[in-house]
Amino acid sequence: MKWIIQALLFAIFILIACSSKQVSTSQVLTSDQDLELIVLGIAQDAGYPQANCKKDCCTTLWTDKSQRKMVSSLGIRDAKTNKAWLFDATPDFKDQLQLLTRTSGTQYDLEGIFLTHAHMGHYTGLMHLGREAMGADAVDVFTMPRMKDYLETNGPWSQLVSLGNIDLKDLGATREISLAEGRLRVRPFLVPHRDEFSETVGYRIETAHKTLLFIPDIDKWSKWDTDIAQLIAEVDLAFLDGTFYRNGEIWGRDMSQIPHPFIEESLSLLQTLSPEDKAKVHFIHLNHTNPLLNTESPEYLEFGSTGFELAVEGSIFSL
């Protein structure tokens, strides 16, 4: 009888141990839920409204500030380590940093910044890290080789380097960066664009549960040797260049000199995607002339039936 009781107790012990192990494993598998993405801005480099714009698209925004939009940027924060990362340093840096790092009950430290290229809306926010503002201490700034050289050899950015406000990390050497104790991986990829001062990249961002694309600036899809539809199928979220809705949107300028893919073109190119894949696409980096910024425009109402999405400032996605 004694040995039967001992056997039963041993069996119960094994069951409890296995149960505890399963709980522990589950906690590890779901730990990435500490990571979240926040959309910090959706507008083109010059913001919405744009300086000196006297057209209907911006007129009311000079008095009604509630409809203004910040410049295109994403942020990721990790509740486990209380660290945060920016994707592009825009002219709206100070407000976006506040939105990223100050939440109810939690304060995050800016750990690093990933830059896409050297156009004004994507790197000039670095100025806030300098001695005239934050006086930051060695914030990691991830760049491609030409972008790194540009910052090192041109003032005032070179002063950020010499004073140690930023620590430039060359993405060309490592290609993939592991963050958040290995739970977050970031990989750049080159895209065609006006590369006067630097390369232009998009980013593929991966966790154990989600993969997303960030391509705020690119020339026509046809100029890229990558199938964007295939990339969308491989990820969970895709924040894509939606600068202009259609040709002729900018008055008195040759839009072939700024050859972003028009949203109309993207909708046509991606029309055969499944409803699930269409819902992954969030258009971002909207110019102040883009009628999709006006929720009362015919284009906005029509867009609502396409199955695609617009990036929404302040929206949060669990990673």
For residue 176 the two structure tokens come to 């993939």
pLDDT given for residue 105 in this prediction: 78
pLDDT given for residue 15 in this prediction: 38
Spell out the per-residue pLDDT of the chain, length 319, in tens: 444 444 444 443 333 333 333 322 223 333 457 999 999 999 999 999 999 988 888 888 898 888 899 999 999 999 999 999 999 999 999 999 999 999 877 899 999 999 999 999 999 999 999 999 999 999 999 999 999 999 999 999 999 999 999 999 999 877 899 999 999 999 999 999 999 999 999 999 999 999 999 999 999 999 999 999 999 999 999 999 999 999 888 877 777 777 899 999 999 999 999 999 999 999 999 999 999 999 999 999 999 999 999 999 999 999 9
Task: List Cβ neighbours of 287 (8 Å cut-off, separation of 6 or more).
Answer: 43, 44, 50, 243, 244, 249, 250
Q: Output DSSP code: residue 291.
A: G
* Measured CA distances, 254 to 182, 258, 275 (Å): 46, 8, 35
pLDDT given for residue 55 in this prediction: 86
Alpha helices of the chain — where are they, by DSSP H?
Answer: 2-29, 56-59, 93-101, 120-123, 145-153, 157-162, 171-174, 228-234, 263-269, 275-278, 298-303
The secondary structure of 170-194 as a DSSP string is EHHHHS-EEEGGGTEEEEEEE--S-
31-311 has CATH 3.30.1330.10 classification: no
pLDDT given for residue 174 in this prediction: 79
pLDDT given for residue 12 in this prediction: 39
- For the chain, the structural domain boundaries read 31-311
Q: Are 67 and 296 in contact (CB under 8 A)?
A: no
Q: Which residues pair with 240 in a beta bridge?
A: 215, 283
Residue 48: what are its φ and ψ, rounded to 5°? -140, 105
Type and span of the H or E element at 107: strand 106-107
Q: Which letter, b or e, does each residue of 24-37 get, where b requires 16 or more Cβ atoms within 10 Å of its Cβ?
A: eeeeeeebbebbbb
pLDDT given for residue 61 in this prediction: 87
